[in-house]
Amino acid sequence: MLQEVRTEFLKLFSSSPRLFCSPGRINIIGEHTDYNEGFVLPAAIEKNIYFAIAPNTCGKFRFYAYNLQEFKEFDSIKHQKKQLWENYLLGVVSQMQKTGKMIPSVDVVFGGTIPWGSGLSSSAALECGFAYALNEIFSLGFSKLELVKLSQLVEHESIGVNCGIMDQFAVMFGKKNHVIQLDCKSLDYNLFPWNVEGYTLLLCNSGVKHSLASSEYNVRRRECEDGVTIVSRHAESIHSLRDISSEQLERYASEMQGKTYQRCRYILDENERVQQMGKALLNGDAKQVGTLLFAAHTGMSCEYEASCVEIDEMVDIARSCDGVVGSRITGGGFGGCTITLVERDAVDSFTKQMTSQYYVKHNISPSFMEVVIGDGTREL
């Protein structure tokens, strides 16, 4: 893909480009906890978006999306808040300009191997990759963390998804064979080796596309904020669900309307599971890792209601397969992929069983990908 992107650039533009790459991510556990100032445990994967980029002298931002074979050019970076691929790039320029930097125009070709709309953060890969490249090419002086925050703002202001910081952080700070344990309140993080001997982590793509902006994502976020508002009426120094204890949540549960309590309960439990997962991984305890994956899925599906019929089915099928110790939805939800921890010797029988049973129910052939944990955004 890198060579294809480079060749396409040379065909379209007359200059010689610099090459960058930016990965997708999986999340082992800690779903929807990031915007509640909780804990997450993601990792960058070896599926990337590749960029060929060079400054130009025509004053226009010229973008070519290789996978879509679409060319677009812009004299100015004005755009409406919408989930269009060019808005991820224009949004980056716009956020950089807001900090007072002058961003000269560039030619860009990008193309990648991250399945779009599958919960693997192709959008964060796009924002972070472009932001990183501009920062390098024009020596803008942003730190990696500043690029992460700026890319998150692109989602809020140019796309309309009020996402947390996990995806951009994982994409930018990913390290080969390591998972990132991130505290989304302090932004302190630890990298530790992915170490589950004898097991394979498999991504199963349900083929159901999610759309975070048009989905319930922003609704979930508001429901969590409602819970915080209620508890903070009774207790001081409550800014997020992170500041709320289990006892406080139970004490004020009766004041919460609709699904608020249920959403908050899930977030508190999920934070706890992230801590337990950290320990299980450090101990190389595959059984416990698996138990936590199943428990997290049940929370996402029943309490947070951020799964879908097809994904629930995938997890149920996984549960019935020999050699599987755990499985759950990964990413924002409402479609996309599951991650499943399977004994290495059982991978073939698992994929066969999953393919036939899932197809019978949903008429979709799932696709599988072994998770290879890779490095974060970088120049090649």
For binding to ligand GLA (CB under 6 A), which residues are involved?
27, 31-32, 34-35, 121, 163-164, 166-167, 331-332
- Which CB sits closer to ligand GLA, 338 or 351? 338
> Whole-number minimum distance, CB 81 to ligand GLA, in Å?
16
> Whole-number minimum distance, CB 164 to ligand GLA, in Å?
3
- Which CB sits closer to ligand GLA, 17 or 332? 332
- Which CB sits closer to ligand GLA, 15 or 83? 83
What's at 265, amino acid-wise? R
- Which CB sits closer to ligand GLA, 107 or 167? 167
With a CB cutoff of 8 Å and minimum separation 6, the contacts of 257 are 226
- Which CB sits closer to ligand GLA, 200 or 215? 215
- Which CB sits closer to ligand GLA, 201 or 286? 201
> Whole-number minimum distance, CB 35 to ligand GLA, in Å?
6
> Whole-number minimum distance, CB 117 to ligand GLA, in Å?
12
> Whole-number minimum distance, CB 86 to ligand GLA, in Å?
19
CB 274 within 8 A of CB 31: no
Please give the residue whose beta carbon sits closest to ligand GLA in the complex: 332
Q: Which of 167, 183, 316, 375 is catalytic?
A: 167
Q: How many CA atoms lie within 13 A of 337 on its CB side?
A: 27
> Whole-number minimum distance, CB 11 to ligand GLA, in Å?
34
Name the phi and psi angles at 187, rounded to 5.
65, 20
Give yes or no: 167 in active site.
Answer: yes
Active-site amino acid positions:
167
